Amino acid sequence: MSFPLVSITVYNSVVFGVFSNTQRFLGQLRCREPGSSPPRSLSDLLLASMAAGVVSVGLGGPVDLIKIRLQMQTQPLREATLSVRSRAVAPGEQPAYQGPVHCIATVVRTEGLAGLYRGSSAMLLRDVPGYCFYFVPYVFLSEWISPEPHANLSPYAVWLAGGMAGAISWGTATPMDVVKSRLQADGVHFNKYKGVLDCICQSYQQEGLRVFFRGITVNAVRGFPTSAAMFLGYELSLQALRGDHAVTSP
């Protein structure tokens, strides 16, 4: 977990920054009046969320892959033969990767730089709609929870709206998250999937439709506190940097 913990700050700051600045840029294009505050537009929110989702893949793809590869090597090793068979890890047998740096070097050496972005197509299909279900509900829920229509957002509204948005986003993103994780884990010991469609077909044939919803409850429950804390920290950071006396919306 050391690699994602170190990179999560940069990752989230870039994603939130891309969303806020894209939304602001699109609003200014529509308004064309300097100094004015254009009204929110659903199309602006969707485009800004999609831009954040695309950028998140470029930064988060390698982070997720390294994390999953390091976690997967604790599982029994599998050999790719004509019939794939399992064997237990022999006593004293060295793991595939000795740490994040060694994992990155190994992936680049054996698979090239493109290997760091294995599963990026599935991640793109997860994050683009996922961030739409993340930022759009947050904006509308936070404004709906606020006691006054045009008042500055309260910390309670930010916390509750952020938590609900996180639960909605992770709940809807779970199917593609399953596919993305399987593709990224693929290649630790052997290659099983040829791509996103092949992964979906094999998973469905072997485990049925419910495999794509495996972990959806955990994801939704986890999404509430993490997203609530993330949005609250983001808004309070803006408040401190701007010198405001109340939480402001992005």
pLDDT at 207: 93
* pLDDT beyond 60 at 211: yes
pLDDT at 82: 35
Q: How far is CA 18 from CA 58, 65, 163, in A?
A: 13, 23, 21
Q: Say if residue 119 is exposed, middle or buried (CB neighbours under 10 Å; 0-12, 13-18, 19+).
A: buried
Domains of the chain as residue ranges with CATH = 2-242 (1.50.40.10)
Q: How far is CA 144 from the centre of its chain?
A: 25
* pLDDT beyond 70 at 197: yes
Both tokens of residue 101?
Answer: 């740096």
Between 205 and 2, residue with greater pLDDT: 205
pLDDT at 169: 95
Quick one: pLDDT band at residue 158, thresholds 50, 70, 90?
very high
Region 210-229 average pLDDT: 93
Tens-digit pLDDT profile for residues 113-151: 888 898 899 999 999 999 999 999 999 998 888 766 555
- Distance in angstroms (rounded) separating the CA atoms of residues 232 and 239: 10
Region 173-195 average pLDDT: 85
Rounded to a whole number, what is the largest CA-CA distance in the chain?
Answer: 70
pLDDT at 33: 63
- Distance in angstroms (rounded) separating the CA atoms of residues 8 and 84: 36
Query: Contact at 8 Å (CB) between 56 and 63?
Result: no
Both tokens of residue 137?
Answer: 């509900």
Query: Contact at 8 Å (CB) between 54 and 124?
Result: yes
